[in-house]
Structure 1
Amino acid sequence: MSDATVEQSGEDARGAGIEDGAAPLSLRFVAGNPSDEELAAIQVVIAAVAAERAALGAEPVAPPVNFWERSARVMRAPLTAGPGQWRASVGLRP
């Protein structure tokens, strides 16, 4: 496992300018043993894609909505115990 960080200031490996206010890019490789050249290559590619998206005015991509978790957040009425409550829970009224 290796960790890699590239500071985004000044110029990237291609000589293209990068915003000075950009946050550092942090990558974590959990499998394999990439060489320093491979680490540099992937960092340049990811930084270039991020810079291109920023230049085009693209907004950050929102994480996908998990409908299972979303439905669990819906507020429900408090549970009440008593005669006939099982029927009431499925919409059957006596």
Structure 2
Amino acid sequence: MACRRRHNVIWWVSRETKQREREGNVKKLDLNKSAGILNVLTATRVMPKIVGGKPAKAGKWPWMTALTYHGCSAAECQFCGGALIAPRWV
């Protein structure tokens, strides 16, 4: 799992977008050239991660997890995500 320490985290903020905005943000990727590589954006810029998705019901994807800081505001608590590969391994 590749997560950075808190002071080095690059934040991506997701939000719901209008259809027009979503279409403008979608780019065709050359998978031979850019697979697994994200553009680095400033913390103030929005980078939607999922286009056309919908909220999942609690328990729908039980192997997915959010890694969060204890005692922070809701806007900055999550710093990474992961998948459970064993009962105590992310």
Taking structure 2 as the reference length, what is the TM-score of the superposition?
0.19
The structure with the larger Rg is 1
* More contact order relative to length (CA 8 Å, sep ≥ 6): 2
Greater helix share, structure number: 1
